[in-house]
Amino acid sequence: MTALLEINDLMVFYENALAINNVTLHCQEGKITGIFGANSAGKSTIMYTISGIILDQKKKEEMRGGEKITVLGSIYYDGKNIISMEPSDRAKKGIILCPERRRIFAESTVLENLKIGGILAAREQAKQTLDYVFTIFPALKELKKRPGGFLSGGEQQMLAIGRALMAQPRLLLLDEPLLGLSPKLEQTLVKAIRDINAQTGVTLLIAEQYARPILPIIDQGYVLENGGVVLQGTSKELMDNPDVKSAYFGI
């Protein structure tokens, strides 16, 4: 099996605080990988480091004389170390982040949000993906003309994933896609995520605090505590693990 993404010995410091501690994590091509951990475990920092957004944060902080952000280690994507690559170049290579708390454009309509996502895609490809997004999330088709800000939390999450799909991902990073959703909506989203992986073959990395609904659909998962990996395994290995059972399943 080939790993599309190989993170080795990653360390991230915000000033002198260690946010990511020696993380090694691999995503196999076409598979679903999970990162699980509580608030502040370091999930978003890993997502920002893979997408490269952390480099923008670093530059901004340097310009305003703020905190020093340090990133050490390597991130191989499709065989190349991308640790210093600009985020926009990573996006062009198919690394697309669907950020925590959706961050959709509230004043733009559903259709406009989706079109913005597909701005760099070829016209025909964008059209086909738009049809696909409406197949996977039929609710969005009905809401095409509604401003993003008027959607429910679940609909906004669908829109955020749809917009990310429009950007033609090869590696799709989903940061806390279930945040704030009802159990019923969680199930709808989890099914859609599994279908997207099965139907398009896109490689998925999902960071989630609520591991329970996601654990069954992953191929490989990592449990993060205080920035370090404390456990890793297949879906079954993690679900059978007594620590995981007590932390996420209450048994």
**Contact residues for ligand ATP, defined by CB under 6 A:** 14, 17, 19, 37, 39-45, 67, 100, 209
Rank residues 45 and 113 by Cβ distance to ligand ATP and give the closer one. 45
d(CA 215, CA 202): 18
Spell out the SS3 assignment of 192-232. HHHHHHHHHCCEEEEEECCHHHHHHHCCEEEEEECCEEEEE
CB of 67 to ligand ATP, least distance (A): 6
Rank residues 121 and 247 by Cβ distance to ligand ATP and give the closer one. 247
Neighbours of 201 (CB within 10 A): 11
Phi, psi of 221 (to 5 degrees): -140, 155
Rank residues 43 and 170 by Cβ distance to ligand ATP and give the closer one. 43
d(CA 142, CA 94): 28
Beta strands, E only, 86-210: 95-98, 171-175, 203-208
The DSSP symbol for 148 reads G
Beta partners for 75?
A: 7
Burial grade of 123 (CB within 10 A; 0-12, 13-18, 19 or more): exposed
CB of 123 to ligand ATP, least distance (A): 36
CB of 201 to ligand ATP, least distance (A): 27
CB of 36 to ligand ATP, least distance (A): 10
Rank residues 25 and 166 by Cβ distance to ligand ATP and give the closer one. 25
Rank residues 1 and 17 by Cβ distance to ligand ATP and give the closer one. 17
CB of 143 to ligand ATP, least distance (A): 27
Rank residues 40 and 187 by Cβ distance to ligand ATP and give the closer one. 40
CB of 89 to ligand ATP, least distance (A): 23
